[in-house]
Structure 1
Amino acid sequence: MASSPRAAHPAPAAAKPRELVTLSRLLLEVASGPAVTRADLARATGLARSTVSLHVDNLRRRGILKEERDGHSTGGRHPSRLGLNPQAGVILAADLGVTQARLAAADLDGQPLAARSKDIRIGDGPQSVLAWVDAGFQQMLAEAGRKPADVLAVACGVPGPVAHATGTVVKPPVMPGWDDYRIPSYFQPRYEAPVLVDNDVNLMAVGEHRARTGVEHMLFVKVGTGIGCGIISGGRIHRGADGAAGDIGHIRIPGNDATCTCGYVGCLEAAAGGGALATELQRNGTRVSDVGDVARLAADGDPSARRAIQVASEQIGGVLAALVNFHNPSLVVVGGSLAASDNLVAGIRSGIYGRALALGTRSLTVEASRLGNTAGTAGAIHLAQRHILSPDGLAGLRKKPKTA
Structure 2
Amino acid sequence: MVELSRLGSARATGVGEILQLLRDGTPRTRSEIMEITGLSRSTVSARVDTLVGLGLVGPAGEAASSGGRPPARIAFLPSSRIVLAIDLGATHGTVGVTNLAGTLLDHTTAQLDIAAGPEAVLDWATETGRELLRASGRPAGDLIGVGVGVPGPVEHSTGRPVNPPIMPGWDRFDIPARLGRAFDVPVLVDNDVNILALGEHATAWPDADDLVFVKVSTGIGAGVVAGGTLQRGAQGSAGDLGHVHVPWHPGSTRPADDDRDLESIASGPAIAALLRDRGVDAHASADVVALVRHGNREALDLVREAGREIGAVLASIVNLLNPSVIVVGGSISRAGEQLIAGVRETVYRRSIPLATQHLSIVQSRSDETAGVTGAAIMVIQAVLDTADAWDLVPSSTITTTSPTGGQR
* TM-score for both structures, normalised by structure 2: 0.84
Amino acid of the structure 1 residue aligned with 2:64? S
Equivalent residue number for residue 364 of structure 1: 359
Distance 2:115 2:27 in 1: 45
Match of 1:234 among 227, 235, 239: 227
Find out whether 1:251 has 2:244 as its counterpart. Answer: yes
1:112-163 deviation line (CA, Å, top 9, x unaligned): 2102223433222222222222232123223322355532110111222211
- Asked if the contact 2:96/2:104 (under 8 Å) is kept, the reply is yes
Distance 2:144 2:191 in 1: 21
Higher relative contact order (CA 8 A, sep 6+): 2
1:335-370 deviation line (CA, Å, top 9, x unaligned): 111222211111111110121122221221111112
1:1-26 deviation line (CA, Å, top 9, x unaligned): xxxxx9xxxxxxx99x6657522222
Amino acid of the structure 2 residue aligned with 1:359? L
Amino acid of the structure 1 residue aligned with 2:220? I
Distance 1:110 1:253 in 2: 37
Amino acid of the structure 2 residue aligned with 1:309? V
Shift in Å at residue 325 of structure 1? 0.9
Distance 1:348 1:182 in 2: 38
Aligned-pair Cα RMSD in Å: 2.9
Match of 1:56 among 24, 48, 64: 48
Three-state SS of the structure 2 residue aligned to 1:372 is: coil
1:155-208 deviation line (CA, Å, top 9, x unaligned): 111222211111111122232221111210121011110001112211221222
1:29-74 deviation line (CA, Å, top 9, x unaligned): 222234644334333323233322210101111222222325x635
Structure 1: 5+ residue stretches without partners? 1-5, 7-13, 259-264
Equivalent residue number for residue 312 of structure 1: 306
Equivalent pairs, count: 380
Three-state SS of the structure 1 residue aligned to 2:342 is: helix
Find out whether 1:387 has 2:382 as its counterpart. Answer: yes
Pairs within 5 Å for 1:217-296: 217-254=210-247, 266-282=260-276, 284-296=278-290
Equivalent residue number for residue 292 of structure 2: 298
Match of 1:164 among 156, 159, 166: 156
Larger CA deviation: 267-276 vs 130-139: 130-139
Distance 2:31 2:113 in 1: 51
- Asked if the contact 2:247/2:313 (under 8 Å) is kept, the reply is no
Distance 1:274 1:43 in 2: 55
Three-state SS of the structure 2 residue aligned to 1:389 is: helix
- Asked if the contact 1:96/1:159 (under 8 Å) is kept, the reply is yes
Equivalent residue number for residue 208 of structure 2: 215
Three-state SS of the structure 2 residue aligned to 1:83 is: strand
Percent identical residues: 37
Distance 2:385 2:322 in 1: 30
Three-state SS of the structure 2 residue aligned to 1:373 is: coil
Distance 1:332 1:133 in 2: 32
Structure 2: 5+ residue stretches without partners? 398-408
Distance 1:186 1:284 in 2: 47
Shift in Å at residue 320 of structure 1? 0.3
Amino acid of the structure 1 residue aligned with 2:77? N
Equivalent residue number for residue 29 of structure 1: 21
- Asked if the contact 1:102/1:118 (under 8 Å) is kept, the reply is yes
Closer, same or farther in 2 for the Cα pair 1:271/1:86, shift >3 Å?
Answer: same
Equivalent residue number for residue 133 of structure 1: 125
- Asked if the contact 2:19/2:389 (under 8 Å) is kept, the reply is no
Shift in Å at residue 333 of structure 1? 0.9
Distance 1:192 1:169 in 2: 21
Distance 1:83 1:297 in 2: 51
Equivalent residue number for residue 184 of structure 2: 192
Three-state SS of the structure 2 residue aligned to 1:292 is: helix
Equivalent residue number for residue 114 of structure 1: 106
Distance 1:18 1:329 in 2: 31
Find out whether 1:152 has 2:144 as its counterpart. Answer: yes
Closer, same or farther in 2 for the Cα pair 1:356/1:107, shift >3 Å?
Answer: same
Shift in Å at residue 92 of structure 1? 0.9
Distance 1:101 1:279 in 2: 27
- Asked if the contact 2:314/2:347 (under 8 Å) is kept, the reply is yes
